[in-house]
Chain A
Amino acid sequence: MKYVDTAQVQKKMNTRLLTNKIAKSLFFLSTLFGLIVLVVLIFRVISQGIAWINLDFLTGKLSNNPERAGIMGAILGTLWLMVVVAPVTMLIGVGTAIYLECYAKKSRFHSFIQTNISNLAGVPSIVFGILGLTVFVRTMELGNVVLAGGLTMALLVLPIVVVASQEAIRSVPSQLSEASYGMGATKWQTIKNIILPAALPGILTGAILSLSRAIGETAPLVVIGIPALLIPFPGSLMDRFTILPMQIYYWTIDSALVAEYANLAAATIVVLLVVLFVLNSVAIIIRNKFQQRY
């Protein structure tokens, strides 16, 4: 009794192998596509903008005149935005993560918050902009200042910090906390002295990633309203400000009017990408250097 018709199998073998080969190349080409686009994009932006990047451009004030325009205001605005976003997201994000991981395990409240956070992560950023416009800019009458923009961005990136902190806390081995309890430490002491220090690299990585998301977002700030021309530098939380992506936005839409604006936009993109690259590198270094293997 023959279960397999060898002749049949042999006959089909070559076509099957060939199909597999063709498919493999197809999949490989698809993978290349993404990489090629990335290379084209970066090459294009750099070739368009690199000639415009010099010290004057980086430290100069904004101007209508492309020859004179600089982006120091936008760089400082970006830093000021971070000054608001970093502490607020760290406090709320880490606090929420500790509560979820250490205090509210397996309660209905826990799963409710968890669901809520993953839903928040999927809300379009422009909706956060409307929230910020309604709550911070109008109702609290802050106006379109650093504080209002920062709080809006903080809420936007909160889910990233919460999820990253939760993972970091979860990855702290239970032996450590058990040992701490065994020595007579209370719950809060254990969290403060054992769990948080051990989870810190993971938490920091999440915080930095959330910052890089916040300084690359444009939509919420467009909604909040950033002036098209803002020359002085921001000096406090209650000053109006502009950030790098907003500058890119205005220069891009005006590039039809003044051709050089396209180059300025490209140069600003290069600066923004460099900033993001540095931030992410720091995050990766922290992750690799301080990730203790237990």
Chain B
Amino acid sequence: MEANSAVNKGNAVNVRDMIADKKRSRNLSNVMEKVMPKVLLVIATISILTTIGILFTLLTETIEFFQRIPFVEFFTGTVLKPLSQNPEFGVLPLLTGTLISSGIAMFVAIPIGLMTAIYLSEYASDKVRRIVKPILEILAGIPTIVYGFFALTFVTPILREFIPGLQATNILSPGIVMGIMIIPMVASLSEDAMSSVPNSMREGALALGSTKLEVTGKVIIPAAMSGIIASFVLGISRAIGETMIVTIASGSSKNFTFDITQSMQTMTAYIVEVTGGDAPAGSTIYYSLYAVAMTLFVFTLIMNLLARYISRRFREEY
């Protein structure tokens, strides 16, 4: 374009200018060409820095903590009295609280989530699927604080009607509500796994005279097993890391018990309690916060890696 207009003017100087222009812009774009990858590389390393930051902050303070409290004592102690005059730091009450609440959550989420996935993947018509899936997404998008409010002001009073001896703060109610929160996650991940089983296998089984249920139970679920198990593991990881629901609905008593009608504290709720009290830097309780966070981090990391390993390692190749 420009070349034409320049030629029309028939002005040599202009042509020179143009060439100079071209060179300049070529230089500029060359610079861009060289600089941009480096800039982007720097940006891309921020995510790595975040991980390093998490590991570094947790590790340094955790190491300090274990110099004060022996490792074995921390992981086998059944008494947690971080604030008392003669403090004791046993993490077991928090571990049981975490595992019991996550266990209750999965007890709710696994059967309902899996059955929802089967229905959507094998039984539902396209129309139903198009309606239900967005609704499940809404359920997944509700902030956890809303579930916490729901657990404390709605679920706990209802449960107390039916279960005598249930404390006003207990681990059962947040566990159930957490399960409800995780249903969409389990359902959608399992449904993805089942939907990706090729249709030829379904049709083959149907052609041999199986009912849909038999197809699901004997063909689809075994074939999609790795994805389904992975969704369970991810669900557990999500439950372990959940904070607000248990903080609001289960109080802060550090009971070492297996009685689900009692109040227990999870690792996440402990972190909230201690930071809410903002322990002064340098005290043992301050370091205990990082030790508990580290434990939580390792737990969820193992779960996430396990989920990925399962879905890779046992994936059926068609």
- Chain A residues with CB under 8 Å of B214's CB are 16, 20
Q: Point out the residue from A35, A96, A129 that lies within 8 Å of B47, measured CB to CB.
A: A96
Q: Are B51 and A34 in contact (CB under 8 A)?
A: no
In the complex, residue of chain A having the shortest beta-carbon distance to the beta carbon of B35? A188
Within 8 A of B (CB), among A1-43: 9, 16-17, 19-20, 23-24, 26-28, 30-31, 33-35, 37-38, 41
* Chain B count of residues within 8 A CB distance of the other chain: 83
Cβ-based interface call for B142 (8 A): yes
Cβ-based interface call for B1 (8 A): no
Partner-contacting stretch, out of B3-11, B66-74, B132-140 = B132-140
Bound Cα distance from A112 to B52, whole angstroms? 13
- Chain B residues with CB under 8 Å of A113's CB are 44-45, 47-48
- Chain B residues with CB under 8 Å of A189's CB are 29
Bound Cα distance from A204 to B187, whole angstroms? 26
Q: Are B41 and A269 in contact (CB under 8 A)?
A: no
Q: Point out the residue from A44, A95, A118, A130 that lies within 8 Å of B150, measured CB to CB.
A: A44
Q: Are B268 and A219 in contact (CB under 8 A)?
A: yes
Q: Point out the residue from B37, B44, B112, B234 that lies within 8 Å of A30, measured CB to CB.
A: B112
Cβ-based interface call for B272 (8 A): yes
Partner-contacting stretch, out of B75-83, B89-97, B118-126, B195-203 = B118-126
The interface bits of chain B over 26-67 (1 if a CB of A lies within 8 angstroms of the residue's CB, else 0) are 000110110011011101111110110110011000000000
Q: Are B123 and A24 in contact (CB under 8 A)?
A: yes
- Chain A residues with CB under 8 Å of B165's CB are none
- Chain B residues with CB under 8 Å of A216's CB are 141-145
- Chain A residues with CB under 8 Å of B308's CB are 118
Q: Are A41 and B150 in contact (CB under 8 A)?
A: yes
Q: Are A35 and B39 in contact (CB under 8 A)?
A: no
Known: A135-B53, A162-B47, A249-B145. 17 other contacts (CB 8 A): A27-B119, A31-B119, A31-B120, A33-B112, A113-B47, A113-B48, A122-B304, A124-B240, A126-B243, A126-B271, A130-B58, A131-B57, A188-B33, A248-B149, A249-B148, A249-B244, A252-B248
